[in-house]
């Protein structure tokens, strides 16, 4: 059997693609190995959302190419967003690579690995999205998994290259997603995170009345699944069925990941977001009216071309007013191939970095205050396992803390029966801006 090492870079959506590739390889004459130095074949699934991600992808490919040059590996395959973005030009730039697969061709991985010489690049308009029939080993944690509900995006945000990399919006059917969720539950998954490029638009392309609300209610019927969390909801067009499902369904956690990107009118127009600040405030009011205790996670971009001090001050006041549960702040990158790259008024890096710090300081104070209100109260916590901070602690997460991005709950003096995958009642003892410390009190 040929030994294969796969490197997955970038977002959880890319990780799911990598899992599909692993599933296909496991059904053939291939053995997956953790050490690239022991591999006959190395596959790198790349990210190219912003320039630093592209640089990381190139560095990783070159690092893996050294193993091929030393004779450890016989074949190097590069897949994913960087391939889709730069196309066949990579053949000249990276002669060490044997094959390139675009974002709509990764399902051909087994075919390419069997190939001897011949065609190097497989890059076409992205149309493929995996279905429930694809074996997909969960690589995240035994009790937690990502479920990709759709692929592609029809929006034309000025800063974003994703539609070029992932193609037009295409949804999976509700039965397909329920079947995959059942399989994950049978494997021990209790927490499912729904992901896509634009979750709000889920189902519109199917023409059968499917939408997020119907999907969430169907998934809530899957035995074994305890928490369902929604990510990447575009703010415009949130269906009422979604909000009612969050409010009604116990398994659908009171959490909404809704990237807003800015609050200033001029910036929202320049970004081509299709909404005003007043519109965003109405959207947030509507969400909170349906689910009063919902935790809203959002992201913002600072330093977008033309952003003035007044624009940034308006963004700060917006964050102070709305008191979001979680906020991520990114500095703008001038990405080739996007409309924003050609805009005048590019902001200096030092200004971008200063604004990022200022806005995160605003949110840090808000987060700390919200967390302090939780001290001495009891909440269900999903245990993830031993903490990376100390071998004497377990770590877990509230329903309002998504994996890898929203902080943790550290569990002091855990009882002997505590283990990963359990949801236990935890009394919060201490709080910081991003993490909490608590004690299991249900046993």
345, two tokens: 């008024």
* Helix axis angle, 240-248 to 277-290, nearest 10°: 40
Tell me, yes or no, whether 391 and 360 share the same domain.
no
State how far the Cα of 279 lies from the Cα of 307, in Å rounded to an integer.
Answer: 20
Tell me, yes or no, whether 306 and 366 share the same domain.
yes
357: CB partners within 8 A, 6+ apart: none
Tell me, yes or no, whether 167 and 281 share the same domain.
yes
* Residue 132 is assigned to a structural domain of this protein: no
pLDDT band per the 50, 70, 90 thresholds, residue 135? confident
* Per-residue pLDDT at 405 exceeds 80: yes
Q: pTM score, two decimals?
A: 0.93
pLDDT band per the 50, 70, 90 thresholds, residue 205? very high
Q: What is the pLDDT of residues 298-309, one digit of tens each?
A: 999 999 999 999
* Residue 251 is assigned to a structural domain of this protein: yes
Tell me, yes or no, whether 307 and 385 share the same domain.
no
51: CB partners within 8 A, 6+ apart: 333, 335
State how far the Cα of 242 lies from the Cα of 255, in Å rounded to an integer.
Answer: 12
Tell me, yes or no, whether 259 and 325 share the same domain.
yes
Q: Which helix (H) or strand (E) segment is 69 a member of?
A: helix 51-69
Tell me, yes or no, whether 74 and 172 share the same domain.
no
Tell me, yes or no, whether 395 and 319 share the same domain.
no
Mean pLDDT of 214-226: 98
pLDDT band per the 50, 70, 90 thresholds, residue 178? very high
Total number of domains constituting the chain: 3
Q: Which helix (H) or strand (E) segment is 174 a member of?
A: helix 174-186
Asked whether the beta carbons of 284 and 296 are under 8 A apart, the reply is yes
pLDDT attached to residue 424: 96
pLDDT band per the 50, 70, 90 thresholds, residue 259? very high
pLDDT attached to residue 387: 86
* Per-residue pLDDT at 180 exceeds 90: yes
Q: How far is CA 61 from CA 6, 14, 31, 94, 427, in A?
A: 11, 16, 21, 9, 46
Which of 350, 372, 394 is the last residue before a domain boundary?
372
- The CATH number for 327's domain is 3.80.30.20
Mean pLDDT of 25-33: 89
Mean pLDDT of 318-324: 97
Q: What is the pLDDT of residues 374-404, one digit of tens each?
A: 999 999 999 999 888 776 689 999 999 999 8
Q: What is the rounded end-to-end Cα distance, in angstroms, of the chain?
A: 48
* Per-residue pLDDT at 39 exceeds 80: yes
pLDDT attached to residue 392: 66
* Residue 136 is assigned to a structural domain of this protein: no
* Residue 426 is assigned to a structural domain of this protein: yes
- The CATH number for 11's domain is 3.40.50.12160
Mean pLDDT of 225-239: 95
Asked whether the beta carbons of 2 and 40 are under 8 A apart, the reply is yes
Q: What is the pLDDT of residues 279-293, one digit of tens each?
A: 999 999 999 999 999
Which of 337, 354, 372 is the last residue before a domain boundary?
372
Tell me, yes or no, whether 276 and 395 share the same domain.
no
pLDDT attached to residue 118: 77
- Name the more confident of 65 and 117: 65
Tell me, yes or no, whether 161 and 101 share the same domain.
no
- Name the more confident of 80 and 71: 80
- The CATH number for 383's domain is 2.40.50.140
Tell me, yes or no, whether 156 and 108 share the same domain.
no
* Residue 31 is assigned to a structural domain of this protein: yes
What residues make up the domain containing 409?
378-440
* Residue 148 is assigned to a structural domain of this protein: yes
Tell me, yes or no, whether 51 and 95 share the same domain.
yes
* Residue 96 is assigned to a structural domain of this protein: yes
State how far the Cα of 316 lies from the Cα of 10, in Å rounded to an integer.
Answer: 28
* Residue 137 is assigned to a structural domain of this protein: no
Q: Indicate the SS3 state at residue 281.
A: helix
Tell me, yes or no, whether 240 and 299 share the same domain.
yes
Mean pLDDT of 211-228: 97
State how far the Cα of 239 lies from the Cα of 250, in Å rounded to an integer.
Answer: 19
């Amino acid at each position: 059997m040929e030994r294969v090492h796969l490197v997955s870079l970038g977002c959880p959506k890319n990780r799911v693609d990598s899992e599909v590739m692993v599933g296909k390889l496991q059904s053939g004459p291939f053995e997956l190995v953790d050490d690239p130095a022991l591999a006959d074949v190395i596959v790198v699934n790349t990210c190219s959302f912003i320039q630093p991600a592209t640089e990381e992808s190139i560095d990783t490919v070159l690092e893996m190419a050294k193993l091929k040059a030393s004779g450890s590996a016989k074949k190097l395959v590069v897949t994913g967003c960087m391939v889709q973005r730069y196309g066949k030009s990579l053949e000249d730039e990276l002669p060490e690579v044997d094959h390139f697969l675009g974002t709509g061709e990764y399902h051909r991985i087994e075919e390419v690995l069997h190939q001897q010489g011949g065609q190097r690049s497989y890059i076409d308009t992205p149309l493929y999205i995996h279905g429930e029939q694809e074996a997909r080993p969960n690589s995240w944690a035994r009790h937690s998994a990502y479920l990709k509900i759709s692929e592609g995006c029809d929006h034309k945000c000025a800063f974003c290259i994703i539609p070029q990399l992932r193609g037009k919006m295409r949804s999976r059917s509700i039965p397909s997603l329920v079947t995959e969720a059942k399989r994950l539950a049978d494997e021990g998954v209790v927490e499912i995170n729904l992901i896509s490029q634009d979750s709000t638009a889920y189902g519109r392309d199917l023409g059968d009345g499917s939408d997020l609300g119907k999907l969430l209610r169907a998934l809530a019927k899957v035995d074994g699944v305890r928490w369902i969390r929604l990510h990447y909801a575009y703010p415009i067009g949130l269906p009422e069925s979604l909000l009612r499902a969050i409010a009604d369904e116990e398994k659908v956690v009171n959490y909404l990941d809704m990237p807003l990107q800015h609050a200033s009118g001029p910036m929202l127009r320049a970004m081509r977001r299709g909404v005003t600040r007043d519109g965003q405030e109405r959207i947030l009011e509507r969400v909170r009216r349906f689910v009063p205790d919902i935790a809203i996670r959002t992201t913002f971009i600072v330093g977008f071309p033309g952003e003035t001090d007044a624009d940034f001050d308006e963004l700060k006041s917006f964050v102070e007013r709305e008191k979001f549960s979680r906020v991520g702040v990114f500095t703008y990158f001038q990405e080739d191939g996007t409309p924003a790259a050609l805009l005048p008024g590019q902001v200096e890096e030092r200004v971008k970095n200063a604004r990022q710090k200022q806005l995160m300081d605003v949110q840090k104070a808000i987060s700390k205050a919200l967390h302090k209100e939780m001290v001495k109260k009891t909440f269900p916590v999903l245990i993830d396992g031993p903490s990376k901070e100390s071998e004497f602690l377990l770590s877990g997460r509230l329903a309002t803390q998504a994996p890898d991005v929203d902080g943790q709950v550290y569990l002091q003096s855990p009882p002997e029966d505590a283990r990963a995958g359990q949801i236990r009642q935890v009394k919060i003892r201490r709080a910081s801006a991003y993490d909490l410390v608590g004690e299991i009190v249900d046993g």
